[in-house]
Structures are given as C-alpha cells and as structure tokens.
Amino acid sequence: MDLVRATSQQLIRLDSQWGGIDVAGLANRAFSVVRQRINTGGYSTRVERDLHAAGAELAEVAGWIAFDAERQPLATELNHEALYLARLAGDRDISLLTLLNASLQAWYLRHERLSIATAQAVIDDGWITPRIHAMALVRQARAHSRAGHRADALRAFDQARSLHLDGVSGQHPSAQPALSPC
C-alpha cells in the first residue's frame, strides 16, 4: 500500500511539474497495474481494505490527471473506479473528493444539471468540512450561472463565501486541504 500511495504522490508532483498531457498515460498505466492486482487477488485478505483505499486514491489522482489532459472518457472511467474502490474500502474522503472532481468535469463538459446533482451528493453526505461544503457550493454556483439560474447561482455562491469565511472546523477528523482546486 505504501508503494501505491507513494505512486499517487509522485504522480501529483509530475502533474504539477509537467502537466496532465505528459503524465496521463503514466497515471493510467500505474492504476491499471493496481487494478490488475486487485482483480486477480494477488494479496492477503488482511490488506484488502487498505489496497482498495490506496487503489481508490490512485484512481482519483489518475482521473484528475486525465481530466487535466483533456481525456474526458478516461477521466470518467477512472472516477468510477475511484468511487467503486473507495466504497469497498469505506473511504468517504476519497469518495467525496472524486465526486467534487466529477462535478467539475460535468460543468466543464457543459452538463450543468449533472454538475449540480453531483455537488449536491457531496453536500448531502452530511458531515463534511466547511471547506468541502464551500467547494461543492461553488461547483453548483458555476453550473447554475451557466444554466442561466442567476438567483440560484448567487445563493449558492453567497453560502459558499460564508462557509469559507467561517474557516475549516477543527472538529472534523479529516479537516485537511483538498487536492483539487475549485
């Protein structure tokens, strides 16, 4: 698992340095290796949940890089893989991050209703940090704006701004910065 997580971190660094176009193929291949290992069961049941969690994180990172590289079908596929593995691992944080990424992708692809609904799924999770809540609201505000729903866009943006000004709550166990920008 440490190697899989280290691979995720290295891919993030490479994406920052070189950009998604140059790194997307490598990220996809790295996830394919992990997916093959998961599919063939070449690991003990003691580490299964951790492998699913590490695989979910790698799929999320690879999906973000594919999105950045304008490889939208691959990004969608990797997001689905990330959500599936995160569910198996019980990893809510990666699930929520992946949904935020998918909401941004839906907006980018001009699927405003899907963007709004996906961001709402993050909000409906219940126990999220103010920062994550604000990010989901910004996703919704942008989609509402593009769809011509001015009042809904302003309402979502105002709520996001209020949450952002409130800051990150120290009460939430995963009150940490998200990996992706608004």
Residue 168 confidence (pLDDT)? 53
Rg (CA), the chain: 17
Do 78 and 126 lie in a common domain?
Answer: no
Residue 147 confidence (pLDDT)? 97
Averaged pLDDT, 65-85:
98
Do 81 and 98 lie in a common domain?
Answer: no
What span, in angstroms and rounded, lies between the C-alpha atoms of 21 and 71? 9
What span, in angstroms and rounded, lies between the C-alpha atoms of 5 and 7? 5
**Surface-to-core class of residue 173, CB atoms within 10 Å of its CB (0-12 exposed, 13-18 middle, 19+ buried):** exposed
Domain count, the chain: 2
pTM over 0.85: yes
Averaged pLDDT, 150-168:
91
Averaged pLDDT, 64-74:
98
Over residues 94-148, the pLDDT tens digits come to 999 999 999 999 999 999 999 999 999 999 998 899 999 999 999 999 999 999 9
Residue 72 pLDDT greater than 80, yes or no:
yes
Residue ending a domain, choose from 90, 109, 132? 90
Residue 181 confidence (pLDDT)? 43
Averaged pLDDT, 23-39:
96
CATH number at residue 111: 1.25.40.10
Averaged pLDDT, 90-95:
96
Q: Where are the alpha helices (DSSP H) in the chain?
A: 2-18, 20-40, 48-68, 72-89, 92-108, 112-124, 130-146, 150-166
Domain interval for residue 17: 1-90
Over residues 6-28, the pLDDT tens digits come to 999 999 999 999 999 999 999 99
